[in-house]
Amino acid sequence: MDLSQLQAASKQYPKSPDFTPSYGTAGFRAAAALLPSTVFRCGALMAARSLKTDGVTGLVVTASHNPEADNGVKLVDPTGYMLCQEWEVYADRLANAVDPDDVLAELQKLQDSECIPSGHAEVMIAHDTRQSAAELVGAARCGVEAVGGAAVLCGLLTTPQLHWMVRQRHLGLPCSEESYFSSFLRAYEGLLRGHAASEAQVLIIDCANGVGGGKLQQLQPQLAQLGLELDLRNCGRGVLNEGCGADFVQKDRQLPLECDGVGSAARCASIDGDADRLVYFLPHGAGLRLFDGDKIAALAALFIQSLLEGLQGPSVQIGVIQTAYANGSSTQYLRDTLGCQVVITPTGVKHLHEEAVKFDIGIYFEANGHGTVLFSPDLLQRLRKLQANEPAARDLLALADLVNQAVGDAISGILLVEVALQRLNMTMAAWGSLYADLPSRQLKVTVEDRSIVTTTDAETRAMTPDGLQESLDQAVQRTPSGRAFVRPSGTEDVVRVYAEASTQEGADLLAKTVARVVYRTASGVGPAP
Ligand SMILES: CC(=O)N[C@H]1[C@@H](OP(=O)(O)O)O[C@H](CO)[C@@H](O)[C@@H]1O
Ligand SMILES: [Mg+2]
């Protein structure tokens, strides 16, 4: 790695002294104005990662479902997965280096400890629709070039598109946006051939005023020809993620903007600002009936089991990976009714992904709608051998092409849900009644320093501060079918509270009680909950 230009370039991107970025649940995220230094350094880091792996890496400038004024960076390994967790510590150290000398010193240390070879580094860079994107993409590019790497500017893309393209490069397969669309469409058409519903299906999609809207518009004509009519809302005229988008719908349980008055029969979906999360919903009274990531995982598991029934030979191990935020009813359904193995991991798809790859078919979804279905290389090989004679093998192979094998992808997720509903001949109502969600509530508590809250057992129990878990246990014991946990957010400066119970009142009360315990034991700031 050529570090001779690094210090000079680094001077253009000074870090403000009191900014201490931290690689959170999915990369760095902060107010956009603070981020040029972080993104510059991530550019350099991903060039180093490219040399280390002898592959093309990726970087997406996005703050996902967060407000327009925020931005962030998501880092992509050559496999198309997120940056390997061992390297997060380098990302943290580099991002926090105080000045250009320090940046150089950190990269030199990285170069030595990872034995980074010299050679050609290449980093694919994409961005979402935020106004701050241009400046930050410039910073990323400068960071890549400052260590002698080549930046490939891929422009406006969804996060999962860039992950998919990086993976395709790795596999030596076509990696343009055109091939992204055509590959999903081919798989969709193949899975529905001879099985499509007789009438066109209409789906209203709340696009969060983010990057997914334009991308879905590009797919609209071809999907209409295949019997799926997309009615796109919040396509960019309004404010990004404000009053709309998958995070708003899943957490606030309210109809997004531009979706009122659509009628209770309207099938609706909502994606987030960088189109890696997906939830479905049906308008219901003043609110909505939510089909979250857990429901999508259950539908995917049911569909995959139905396909596997037609497959000869040894049984295929299906694992479903969830976090503590998964509704208790979903876990019970997957385990007891479908007989799937369920694994619970800490929050963040990097943790779920890590477990999902251990199964022949690993289905992972966070309750917020971020997830995908992974097929193991061994299973794919077996399916390829069988495909000439077995339609089930062909269907499963098509499914592996339909579902983004790199990361959770809202666009691919929509196609998965639509195929599964049509192939299982299921209405949204039937999907909804696979199991009934336990009422739940999520709250946030602002505290002086969220890092004093530490957890164990996949974040289901708090270890510190003293007394927090004990008080939480008492509150849970008083609540019929109660369950609650707290954890420091990895993306926001808050402690998150989750509670569920047999009634909504019970869940609300439990969440409030726990929020008060957090406020009391972890030095809450601002008004008490
Ligand atoms: C409760 C919740 O939805 N948490 C989200 C949120 O992380 P936090 O660490 O909870 O802020 O953002 C992550 C990145 O998008 C996502 O992976 C995760 O599920
Ligand atoms: Mg997102």
- Which strand (E) or helix (H) includes residue 455? strand 454-456
327 Cα: distance to centroid of ligand 1 (angstroms)? 15
Which ligand ends up closest to the CA of 22? 1
- Banded pLDDT at 318 (limits 50, 70, 90): very high
Residues with CB under 5 A from ligand 2 (ion): 64, 272, 274, 276
Given a cut of 90, is residue 284 above it in pLDDT?
Answer: yes
For residue 321, give the 3-state DSSP assignment: strand
Q: Which atom of ligand 1 is nearest to the CA of 323?
A: 19
pLDDT 10s digits, 23-62: 988 899 999 999 999 999 999 999 999 999 999 999 999 9
pLDDT value of position 492: 86
- In CATH, the number for domain 293-432 is 3.40.120.10
- Banded pLDDT at 366 (limits 50, 70, 90): very high
Of 64, 330, 412, 440, which one is the catalytic site residue?
A: 64
pLDDT value of position 265: 87
Max Cα distance, the chain (Å):
66
Pick the range with the lowest mean pLDDT from 72-81, 189-198, 389-398. Answer: 189-198
* Residue from 62, 325, 489, 497 to probe ligand 1 pocket by mutation (most atoms less than 8 Å from CB): 489
Strands 150-156, 201-206: pairing is: unpaired
Residues whose CB is less than 8 angstroms from the CB of residue 393 and which lie 6 or more positions away in sequence, other chains included: 311, 382, 383, 384, 386, 387
106 Cα: distance to centroid of ligand 2 (angstroms)? 30
pTM for this prediction: 0.96
The reply to whether 293-432 and 440-521 are identical in fold is no
Question: How far apart (Å, rounded) are the C-alpha atoms in residues 366 and 376?
Answer: 20
- Banded pLDDT at 339 (limits 50, 70, 90): very high
Give the CATH architecture of domain 182-291.
3-Layer(aba) Sandwich (3.40)
> Phi and psi (nearest 5°) for 187?
-65, -40
pLDDT 10s digits, 99-151: 999 999 999 999 999 999 999 999 999 999 999 999 999 999 999 999 999 99
> For the chain, which residues make up each domain, given as ranges?
6-156, 182-291, 293-432, 440-521
Instruction: Give which of 103, 104, 86, 87 is closest to 95, Cα–Cα.
Output: 103
Nearest 5 degrees, angle CA 247-CA 440-CA 301? 70
Give the CATH architecture of domain 440-521.
2-Layer Sandwich (3.30)
299 Cα: distance to centroid of ligand 1 (angstroms)? 22
Q: Which residues line ligand 1 (CB under 6 A)?
A: 25-26, 64, 325, 347-349, 366, 368, 370, 489-492, 496
- Does residue 264 have an active-site annotation? no
Across the range 421-448, mean pLDDT stands at 96
Which amino acid belongs to residue 34? Answer: L
**Binding-site residues for Mg(2+):** 64, 272, 274, 276
Which ligand ends up closest to the CA of 245? 2
What is the share, in percent, of the chain residues with pLDDT greater than 70? 100
pLDDT value of position 233: 98
pLDDT 10s digits, 157-179: 999 999 999 999 999 999 999 99
pLDDT value of position 196: 82
Q: Which atom of ligand 1 is nearest to the CA of 490?
A: 9
Q: What is the mean pLDDT of the chain?
A: 96
Pick the range with the lowest mean pLDDT from 70-79, 192-201, 270-279, 403-412. Answer: 192-201
pLDDT 10s digits, 206-263: 999 999 999 999 999 999 999 999 999 999 999 999 999 999 999 999 999 999 889 8
**Binding-site residues:** 64, 272, 274, 276, 366-368, 487-491, 496
Tokens representing 392 are 């089930």
119 Cα: distance to centroid of ligand 2 (angstroms)? 33
Helix ranges (H only) for 337-404 are 349-356, 377-386, 391-402
More confident residue, 451 or 285: 451
- In CATH, the number for domain 6-156 is 3.40.120.10
pLDDT value of position 260: 87
Please state the ipTM of this predicted complex. Answer: 0.98
Q: Which atom of ligand 1 is nearest to the CA of 498?
A: 1
